Structure formats: C-alpha cells, structure tokens
Amino acid sequence: MAQDEGSIRLTVIKTGATIGLTALLVFLLRWMLSVLPRFDTMTGGHTGGDVLRFLASNGQAQAQQTVAVVMIVLCFVLAVLLVHGIERLFRRRRASR
C-alpha cells in the first residue's frame, strides 16, 4: 500500500512540475518574442519582424489561434520531455547509491 501512495504522490509532483514548466516555457517564449524588435534594432536586420509577421498570420484570427495553440502544445511537449528526463536522472542516481 505504501507503494501506491508513493506513486500517487509522484504523479502529483510530476503533474505539477509539468504544468509549472509549461507555464515557464510559455512565459519565456512570449518574452523572447517581445525582444525580437530590439534584436532587429541592434542588428539592423528584419528577421525578428519577419518572425512576428509570420506568427501574426496576416491578422487572420483563426490562423493566429492555430499558431498560439501549436506554440502552447510544443511548450507542453517540451515540458513533458524535460520532466521525464529529470525523473530518469533521479532514478539513475538513486540506483547507483
């Protein structure tokens, strides 16, 4: 029975970590996008503006929503992979003791 409680606790911890990491990745992505115009100013280029225009999808609401959902899903998938990788590292360390 102690094993079941541990796995439930571990599941709750992993779920919280995944949600928190997803939120952090979305925040970092938004911050990075807000820095792109400054990047263009510093470099004299227009790559950041091109990226922002692409993500704006020419003002089409449906396309903008699709881009937003895809970016959030990618952040979630990355968070899941990171949490899984960290869990594997902890398990290896524990097994090597």
- pLDDT digits 0-9 by tens, 12-31: 999 999 999 999 999 999 99
Low-confidence ranges of the chain (pLDDT < 50): 1-4
pLDDT at 84: 95
pLDDT at 94: 87
List C-alpha distances in Å: 28 to 2, 16, 22: 38, 18, 10
pTM above 0.75, yes or no: yes
SS3 78: helix
pLDDT at 81: 97
pLDDT at 74: 96
Nearest to 75 by CA among 63, 87, 83: 83
Measure the CA–CA gap between 86 and 55, rounded to whole angstroms: 31
